[in-house]
Amino acid sequence: MKKNILITGGAGFIGSHVVRLFVTKYPDYHIFNLDALTYAGNPENLKDIENAPNYTFVKGDITDEKFVPVLFKTHNFDGVIHLAAESHVDRSITDPFAFIRTNVFGTCNLLNAAKNAWKENYEGKRFYHISTDEVYGALEFDGSFFTEETSYDPHSPYSASKASSDHFVRAWHDTYGLPVVVSNCSNNYGANHFPEKLIPLAIHNIKNNKPIPVYGKGENVRDWLWVNDHARAIDLIFHKGINGETYNIGGHNEWTNIDLIKKLCEIMDRKLGREPGTSAQLINFVKDRAGHDLRYAIDASKLQRELGWEPSLQFEEGLDKTVDWYLSNQEWLDNVTSGNYQKYYASQYEER
């Protein structure tokens, strides 16, 4: 069935995988990718599909109160998959207001535009909000998991802004009847991940013989999921999820940061033909992140039980593939780390 779908933040890490999946899997859908191209947005992530007949890139800001309603009016969207966000915890510590603006206000601006565009008839419409497990706070080393019923307890400005946006999404559902669905996912890894985040940063530094910064003692635990498996879950939830419901997505794959970095060092030694143990010498324990959450772990059993989703890849296979991707896409990494990607695309995508 022909549909116009708005995906926000599609030039970023996870968004680019979601856009590619939808553009290639659903030729009857027209995918509109609304992205402000902040430092984290890189249209090079979508070079392979940028000329597809069912794909349109729109440079614009989700906080723009004039433009967003016009966009909804012009394209008569059937669905929204909302990923645009400021996403890096460390940046939220130094510049919290950018997070409040985009993650809270931007989400409300989209919700309101969807409500106003769809209010005559919500039939067949859906607003899907992509969120994070970080809204639930931090777990102890006690084998517990975040479920969909876990109370929100965010600690960083990033997680507080995402928690706030989740509440607003539910408020638009409960107050105005907007058909919404929310998912909260654990840490993603894979191709096109901006190298300020742990895994791509470590790969880049190991490759270039630079120190690998490990915060505190490296004891914090994250639950890692391959980004393509997150995109598959988003596809499933968008099509089969129930309005008003929340779905947790996670890999059942907990690693302390230090064990993960040691594993990456081993893989990199092998791939780069270095003596075993060479890359691990780059590990550098640095000052801990302020308010650093100890442990995240997701119980994704609802998604598995109700919609039949499960991760497709074992972590070691996924890490191996990820390292291969960064090693064979040195130009992408060089463009991102030098800032060249922004200069190049600034000339291609003019401000509206």
Catalytic residues: 133-134, 158
From 339, 304, 267, 325, select the one nearest 16 (Cα to Cα).
325
x-marked contacts with ligand NAD along 5-34 as a string, rule CB under 6 A: ---xx-xxxxx-------------------
Rounded distance between C-alpha atoms, residue 145 and residue 302, angstroms: 13
User: CA-CA distance, 191 to 163, in Å (whole number)?
Assistant: 27
Site string for ligand TYD, 255-294 (x = CB under 6 A): --x-------------------------------x-----
Q: How far apart are CB 184 and ligand TYD at their closest, in Å?
A: 13
Structure token digits, residue 201: 């940063």
CB of 198 to ligand TYD, least distance (A): 4
From 112, 100, 98, select the one nearest 65 (Cα to Cα). 112
**Residue 96 contacts ligand TYD per CB under 6 A:** no
Q: CB of residue 90 vs ligand TYD: minimum separation in angstroms?
A: 6
What residues contact residue 42 under an 8 Å CB cut-off, 6+ apart?
Answer: 11, 12, 16, 192, 194, 335, 336, 341, 345
CA 284/CA 128 separation, integer angstroms? 40
Tokens standing for residue 252: 């059942």
214 binds, among ligand NAD, ligand TYD, none (CB under 5 to 8 A by kind): ligand TYD
* Site string (190-209) toward ligand TYD, x via CB under 6 A: -------xx--x--------
Least separation in angstroms between CB 103 and ligand NAD:
7
Q: Which of 5, 37, 233, 319 forms a contact with ligand NAD (CB under 6 A)?
A: 37
Which residue number, 83 or 139, has a Cβ lying nearer to ligand NAD?
83
Which of 31, 35, 179, 303 contacts ligand NAD by CB under 6 A?
35
List the single partner that 9 binds among ligand NAD, ligand TYD, none, CB under 5 to 8 Å by kind. Answer: ligand NAD
The packing angle between helices 257-272 and 198-207, to 10°, is: 40
Q: Interface residues for ligand NAD in 128-187 (CB under 6 A)?
A: 130, 132, 162, 185, 187
* Binding at 14: pick from ligand NAD, ligand TYD, none (beta carbon under 5-8 Å per type): ligand NAD
Q: Which does 252 bind (CB under 5 to 8 A by kind): ligand TYD, ligand NAD, none?
A: none
Residue number of the CB atom closest to ligand NAD: 12
